[in-house]
Structure formats: structure tokens, C-alpha cells
Amino acid sequence: MTPPTTQQTAQPTAHAVHSGRDVRDARDELRRLLLGTGALEPAWVPAFDAVRRSDFLPDVMWPHDMATGRSRTVDKARDPDAWQTYADSDCPIVTQWDDGAHNGPEPGRSFSSSSSMPSLVFSMLADLDVREGQRVLEIGTGTGWNAGLLAHRVGVTGSVVTLDVDGVVATDARAALQRAGLPVRVLHRDGYLGFPERAPYDRIIVTCGVRDIPYAWVEQTAPGGIVLVPWGTYYGPAEATARLVVAEDGRSASGPFTRPVGFMRMRAQRLVRRQHAAYVPPGAMDRADVSATSLPAADLDGFVTGLLVRDVTHVADREREDGRRAVWLYGLSDTSWAAAVFHNGRKQAKVYQSGPRRLWDELEAAHQWWESRGNPGYDRFGLTVDRNGRTRVWLDDPDGLL
Ligand SMILES: C[S@@+](CC[C@H](N)C(=O)[O-])C[C@H]1O[C@@H](n2cnc3c(N)ncnc32)[C@H](O)[C@@H]1O
């Protein structure tokens, strides 16, 4: 079960950051790049040209390098060329840390609001299939850039409402949208509830990672409308966008996963699990069941694994100096745990399991099932939110059982 391909981050080079001419050209280059990869559809070019990302970014911001996981501080007052070049490059930019509790120019502990990378923004807008005159609800306002692009696209005959759970983020986005002259209603609200006052919507787009899809989003979308939502399991951070089409009776929504993504999590849906020691107290390894596995460590990561092994989260330790690397599974419904200790260069890993569930055995069974179905990737799976509000994952066919 290989991990999904991550969105590549094209970071500006040092040359691009410091040359005035390249700064001017950066936006044209970004347009060419996005058109070349197909992320930017021709129908979205007028919005790309009219609604500039830089108009929505704060003076101090933190472009994020997804390959290294590092963020750097860029201050418009100190280095306006670098600031502008990052604004016009295909990289995600963190705009808030630690739910706003963090102050100062250094990066905080965890990012809590950002401007997503433009290739992802436009790919999702293409999946959303928005037309002029439509009513759109966005959940996760962030900087307001995506809402501004949507407002440009739907025009005066359409309407855009956007919700953010963070009051400061919503206020800043509202101000930026007003300065840009874009008619968007920005509300400080928990997007989990949607916004029934303006329903039904033709489109709902969610720009934070979701683990539990509320039925309210289906109810607030018109029949035939689309709910586009980055969804994943608590197995790990990997997600994919589910493109759900609301049924004619308006009571369910179903559709395939369209692309692998990695969003910051909806606030109330962040994983809070027991500490390691609550699962594995001192001496627990000696009392655990011991077996062996020949599953490759690389196959244990990823979105698809999370679809198949439910109520489990995993942590992969870094490789130690002696070449050993442990992968831990923790049950989320009880304190079952498993660990596989891989040695660099050895085919077999030693497995430890304990608790009411045998999590490693579940993982092996899931892996066998996955191989028996031809090693399907994320794009053969899909989601249905049924008329009872339950979310069901399927393979190939919405009527099929997983
Ligand atoms: C990746 S950012 C959104 C990017 C944004 N669409 C843009 O154009 O810049 C995710 C946002 O989701 C917001 N968020 C998290 N949980 C939320 C919730 N329950 N309801 C609404 N917004 C939420 C965060 O505060 C954050 O601003």
C-alpha cells in the first residue's frame, strides 16, 4: 500500500528571490507552470489574473517547504522581493501558528492557517466545476484568496459565503476581500454546521482536512450539487479529496476520490490519543505476543491503508543509528497496540502485539485483501454519505462493500 504522491512544492530559487526582473516575471511563470500542468483550466485564467494571491497575504509569512517540513520567515518590510516572489510561487504559505496563540517572527509549533499552494487551489477549483451564477459555500476561509477566486468566477449573478472557525483569520480575510472589491460574505463560524441560512448551495468546497463529514453539508447542497472535501482517516495525515455529488432526492451524496492532498485538520477533528505509555507501560514489550512479518515498511504508510484498517493510528519512528526502525499501531477504541521493528537490509521484521485487538494481524489481512483486488490506489476508492448521515467507503462501485 504505497503512500499517495504528495503535491510537489516548487520553491523559488535564490536567484529568483533576489533578481528584480525575475520578481516581475514570477507571476507569469506561475501562470505558465499551472497551465502547463493542467492545474489551471483556461476558464480560471481571468480569475487568476484578476485576483492576486499577494493581496491576501500578511506582511510576515512563512512559506513552507513540504519536502523538508520546514518553514522560513519572510518579512515584506525587510525583503519585499523575496516576499513577492514567494507569494507568486507554487508553495503553501503558513499565515498563522498555534491557533493564533503564537507571536513573533519565528515559526510556531503547528500551523493553523495558511494559503494553500496555487496548483492545489486551482486543481480543486477544477474538480469543483463551478459555473457563473452558482451559489458556493467555502469552509476554511484562511486568507480569503480562494473565496475571492470563487467570487470572480461566479460573478454578480452568483454568491459566495465562506466560514472560518478563527475570528482573527475571518476578520483579516474579510478586510482583504473588501480591499480587492470582491463580494464575499465572510463569517466567523464552525464550518461543521455549514450555513443553513443561505442554503441550498450548488457547491460546497472544504479547505481543511476532515475525518467526519457532517450530514449538514449534504442537506445544504442542492440535488446534483457537489461537495468537495479533503477526507482521510486517523491512521495518518494522508488525505484525498472526495468529490461527492448529491443525489436527486437530496438525501445522500457519493463520489470518488480525485487527488491526494494534505490539509491542516478541521479544528475539532484533530487527533487526541492516549500517550504511548498508556498503551505500552514499562515491561509491556516483554509480555506481548511476538511474531514476524515480511510486509515492507514502506507499505504501511498512506491513505489506502487507513481506509482498510479502521480505528487505528500509526507512528513511524525515525531510523536509529543501529539501522532499526519501529512502526507503531495504536488502537483508537481501546489500548490495543502493535509494533514492528524493521532492520535495515533484513526482509523480516519482528512484531509485538498486545490488547483486545491484534492490530498487526488486522493490517496483514487488509494488505492481503488489497493485493487480491489488484493493489488499488486512492482513485479506485470513493465515499458515500448515506441518508442516515453515515459515511461509507467503497471500491470501484458505490454499491460495493469494502
Ligand atoms: C488551509 S486554510 C484555508 C485556505 C484558504 N481557503 C485560502 O484560500 O487561503 C484552513 C483554514 O480552515 C480553518 N478551519 C479549521 N477548522 C475549521 C472549522 N471547523 N470551520 C471553519 N474553518 C475551519 C482554519 O482556521 C484555516 O484558516
Q: Tell me the range of 21-25, 270-274, 347-351 where mean pLDDT is highest.
A: 347-351
- The average confidence (pLDDT) of the chain is 91
Confidence of residue 402 (pLDDT cuts 50, 70, 90): confident
Q: Whose CA is nearest to atom 12 of ligand 1?
A: 140
Contacts of 290 (CB under 8 A, 6+ apart): 350, 351, 352
Summarize the confidence of residues 251-267 as an average pLDDT: 95
Q: Which is higher by pLDDT, 273 or 396?
A: 396
Ligand 1 residue neighbourhood (C-beta within 6 Å)? 112-116, 139-143, 145-146, 163-166, 169, 190-192, 207-208, 263-264, 266-268
Q: 248-260 burial, b if ≥16 CB within 10 A, otherwise e?
A: eebbbbbbbbbbb
* Domain count across the chain: 2
Confidence of residue 77 (pLDDT cuts 50, 70, 90): very high
Last residue of a domain, one of 84, 99, 119: 119
Confidence of residue 168 (pLDDT cuts 50, 70, 90): very high
Q: At how many degrees (to 10) do helices 145-154 and 118-128 cross?
A: 40
Q: Give the per-residue pLDDT at 8.
A: 33
Q: Whose CA is nearest to atom 4 of ligand 1?
A: 142
Q: Which of 57, 161, 264, 265 to mutate to test the pocket of ligand 1 (most atoms within 8 A of CB)?
A: 264
Q: Which three cell numbers stand for residue 26?
A: 514570477
Ligand 1 atom nearest the C-alpha of 145 is 8
Q: How far is the CA of 208 from the centre of ligand 1 (A)?
A: 5
Q: Give the per-residue pLDDT at 23.
A: 56
Q: Is residue 253 part of a domain?
A: no
Q: Give the per-residue pLDDT at 285.
A: 92
CATH of the domain at 346: 3.30.310
Looking up cell 438525501 gives 251
| pLDDT tens digits, 151-161 | 999 999 999 99
Q: How far is the CA of 266 from the centre of ligand 1 (A)?
A: 7
Ligand 1 atom nearest the C-alpha of 267 is 16
Q: Which three cell numbers stand for residue 166?
A: 478563527
Q: Give the per-residue pLDDT at 21.
A: 52
Q: Which of 267, 269, 271 to mutate to test the pocket of ligand 1 (most atoms within 8 A of CB)?
A: 267
Radius of gyration of the chain (CA): 22
Confidence of residue 140 (pLDDT cuts 50, 70, 90): very high
CA-closest candidate to residue 4, choices 377, 286, 294:
377
Q: Is residue 344 part of a domain?
A: yes
| pLDDT tens digits, 316-365 | 888 888 889 999 999 999 999 999 999 887 889 999 999 999 999 999 99
Share of the chain above pLDDT 90, in %: 81
Q: Is residue 163 part of a domain?
A: no
Rounded to whole angstroms, the Cα distance separating 150 from 182 reads 10
Q: Which of 125, 164, 172, 210 to mutate to test the pocket of ligand 1 (most atoms within 8 A of CB)?
A: 164
pTM of the predicted model as reported, rounded to 2 decimal places: 0.92
Q: Give the per-residue pLDDT at 96.
A: 96
Q: Give the per-residue pLDDT at 88.
A: 96
Q: How far is the CA of 371 from the centre of ligand 1 (A)?
A: 36
Q: Whose CA is nearest to atom 5 of ligand 1?
A: 142
| pLDDT at residue 237 greater than cutoff 70 | yes
String of DSSP letters for 107-137 = --SSEEEEE--HHHHHHHHHHHT--TT-EEE
Summarize the confidence of residues 301-330 as an average pLDDT: 91
Q: For this structure, is 116 an active site residue?
A: yes
Q: Give the per-residue pLDDT at 22.
A: 58
Q: Is residue 367 part of a domain?
A: yes
Ligand 1 atom nearest the C-alpha of 96 is 27
Q: How far is the CA of 23 from the centre of ligand 1 (A)?
A: 29
> Within 13 A of 337's CA, how many CA atoms are on the CB side?
20
Last residue of a domain, one of 90, 119, 148: 119
Last residue of a domain, one of 60, 89, 119: 119
| pLDDT at residue 84 greater than cutoff 60 | yes
Rounded to whole angstroms, the Cα distance separating 193 from 161 reads 13
| Structural domain of 348 | 276-372
- Which of 116, 119, 252, 336 does the annotation list as catalytic? 116
* C-alpha pair distances (Å), 251 with each of 21, 195, 388, 390, 391: 54, 17, 8, 11, 13
Ligand 1 atom nearest the C-alpha of 138 is 6
Contacts of 69 (CB under 8 A, 6+ apart): none
| pLDDT at residue 273 greater than cutoff 90 | no
Confidence of residue 2 (pLDDT cuts 50, 70, 90): very low
